[in-house]
């Protein structure tokens, strides 16, 4: 568990392995989730989405590095995810601009027309 | 106000870019040098560890600043540092091509798009939209629980740690892979990009 990572000999921390990258990626993912759920600005939510996608990419690249047989699979999937992130950001900003035109604000809490 | 804007010196993005390139160069050569010149394993591992911790700390600190940020422009700038640090981690993982693409597409494209979005959708770029402290507390609790669960799972699992061969020839192999093994997803993604381009232009157009 978490406590296993504390108080190990120095070599444990210096030998950077798959686990280290996965922990960084998990932290980035959680920050992205937090940003997505706390920002009311639509662009802020998009920034959170980018954080989450970066965490996923870091995961994929780390796995493709630390797995002897699938050298490039992870990297190519990460490439596709970068493309999808760009597409998502473009559509997201377009929607945000449209939303701003209709509401004169970018506050996502005001968009309640579809609420049942 | 406008006077103070015109008289202040530009931030010097070219200087920043130069520093960035030097850091990229150092990170990459350090890895190559440690790998090729017969440096003992422990020493090269230590070099890699130092770079890893520097960039991981940079990514996590910038991510925390995004979480704490109130101002969207500042959040976007911190996002740039997250993207740069993650690109450096890609370099350390031997994914040179992906790191460069990360800089070009994310830092050069998506970030500029986001900042333009902020500029176009705010009367003033310094508008603040605050949420209730209770909601922040709930979101932080959810994030922390998720974090503890994920890190616990990662540390408990016994990952196989065989390193793939890193020879720095990934660009050619990725190009070949995109046109052979991954041809179908490549085509699907390119059609998707076309659709997205038309869709975004349609959504954001001015009504006449």
Contact criterion met (CB < 8 Å) for A16 and B45:
yes
Tokens of A33: 């989730």
pLDDT the model gives residue B1: 40
- A113 min Cα distance to partner chain B (Å): 18
Burial of A95 (0-12, 13-18, 19+ CB in 10 A): middle
Tell me which chain A residues have a C-beta less than 8 angstroms from the C-beta of B163.
65-66, 68
pLDDT the model gives residue A48: 94
Residue A25 lies in a domain: yes
Where along chain B do its domains lie? 2-134, 169-208
Tell me which chain B residues have a C-beta less than 8 angstroms from the C-beta of A48.
66
- B23 min Cα distance to partner chain A (Å): 20
Contact criterion met (CB < 8 Å) for A106 and B97:
no
Residue A48 lies in a domain: yes
Q: How confident is the model at residue B2 (pLDDT cuts 50, 70, 90)?
A: very low
pLDDT the model gives residue B28: 66
pTM: 0.81
Mean pLDDT of B88-116: 89
Tell me which chain B residues have a C-beta less than 8 angstroms from the C-beta of A19.
154-155, 159
Instruction: Name which of A91-100, B39-48, B149-158 the model is least confident about.
Output: B39-48
Burial of A108 (0-12, 13-18, 19+ CB in 10 A): middle
Total number of domains in chain A? 1
Range of the domain at A93: 2-104
Q: How confident is the model at residue A83 (pLDDT cuts 50, 70, 90)?
A: very high
**B75 pLDDT more than 70:** yes
Instruction: Share the mean pLDDT of chain B.
Output: 81
Interface ipTM above 0.90: no
- The CATH number that applies at residue A6 is 1.10.287.3510
Mean pLDDT of B107-128: 79
Instruction: Give B2-134's CATH code, choosing from 2.60.40, 1.10.405, 1.20.120, 1.10.10.
Output: 1.20.120
Instruction: Name which of B35-39, B121-125, B150-154 the model is least confident about.
Output: B35-39
Cα–Cα distance for residue pair B197/A18, rounded to 1 Å: 37
Contact criterion met (CB < 8 Å) for A61 and B143:
no
Residue A112 lies in a domain: no
């Amino acid at each position: 568990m978490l406590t296993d990572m504390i108080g190990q000999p120095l070599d444990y921390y210096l030998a950077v392995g798959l686990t280290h990258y996965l922990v960084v990626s998990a932290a980035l993912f959680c920050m992205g989730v937090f940003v997505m759920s706390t920002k009311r600005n639509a662009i802020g939510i998009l920034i959170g989405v980018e954080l989450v996608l970066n965490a996923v990419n870091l995961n994929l690249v780390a796995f493709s590095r630390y797995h002897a047989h699938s050298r490039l699979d992870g990297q190519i999937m990460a490439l596709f995810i970068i493309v999808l992130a760009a597409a998502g950001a473009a559509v997201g900003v377009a929607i945000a601009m449209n939303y701003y035109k209709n509401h004169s604000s970018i506050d996502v809490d005001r968009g309640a027309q579809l609420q049942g | 106000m406008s006077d103070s804007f015109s008289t202040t010196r530009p931030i010097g993005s070219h200087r920043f870019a130069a520093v960035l390139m030097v850091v990229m160069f150092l990170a990459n050569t350090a890895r190559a040098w440690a790998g090729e010149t017969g440096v003992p394993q422990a020493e090269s591992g230590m070099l890699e560890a130092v770079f890893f911790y520097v960039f991981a700390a940079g990514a996590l600190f910038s991510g925390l600043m995004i979480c704490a940020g109130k101002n969207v422009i500042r959040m976007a700038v911190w996002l740039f540092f997250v993207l740069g640090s993650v690109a450096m981690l890609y370099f350390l993982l031997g994914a040179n091509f992906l790191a460069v693409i990360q800089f070009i597409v994310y830092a050069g494209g998506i970030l500029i798009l986001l900042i333009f979005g902020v500029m176009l959708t705010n009367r003033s770029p310094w508008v603040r939209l605050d949420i209730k402290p209770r909601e922040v507390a709930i979101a932080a609790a959810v994030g922390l629980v998720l974090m503890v669960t994920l890190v616990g799972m990662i540390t408990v699992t016994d990952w196989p740690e065989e390193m793939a061969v890193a020879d720095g020839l990934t660009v050619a192999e990725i190009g070949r892979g995109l046109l052979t093994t991954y041809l179908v997803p490549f085509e699907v993604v390119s059609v998707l990009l076309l659709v997205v381009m038309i869709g975004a232009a349609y959504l954001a157009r001015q009504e006449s």
